[in-house]
């Protein structure tokens, strides 16, 4: 029975984590159009971008992340430049 309770707790944690990740993505997605994506490296750049966002979000609040994303608006930055800002 204890094993089942532990498993249920793990499922709840994963569900909460998944919901938080989805919320984070929904909040950041409007700013993606502000980044100067290159079609040839789009998938690689987007993967690196989301990894940087997740790393940034571990040590900062969502509000701080959104301030950074608002700051990049209109700057016509390339993905690597945005990633560099997030990883500072």
- Extents of the domains making up the chain: 2-87
Q: Which residues of 46-55 are buried (b: 16+ CB within 10 A; e: fewer)?
A: eeebeebbee
CA atoms of 35 and 21, how far apart (whole Å): 21
Cα–Cα distances in angstroms (integers) from residue 39 to residues 5, 12, 36, 74, 88, in the given order: 47, 38, 10, 20, 26
Q: Tens digits of per-residue pLDDT, 12-68?
A: 666 666 777 888 888 999 988 889 998 889 999 999 999 999 999 889 998 999 999
pLDDT at 80 over 90: yes
User: What was the pLDDT predicted at 25?
Assistant: 87
């Amino acid at each position: 029975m204890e094993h089942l309770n532990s498993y249920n707790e793990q499922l709840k944690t994963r569900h909460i984590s998944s919901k938080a990740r989805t919320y984070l993505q929904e909040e950041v997605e409007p700013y993606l159009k502000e980044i100067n994506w290159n079609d040839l490296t789009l998938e690689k750049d987007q993967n690196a971008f989301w990894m940087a966002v997740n790393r940034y979000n571990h040590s900062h609040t969502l509000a701080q992340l959104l301030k950074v994303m608002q700051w990049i608006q209109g700057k016509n930055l390339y993905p690597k430049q945005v990633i560099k800002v997030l990883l500072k």
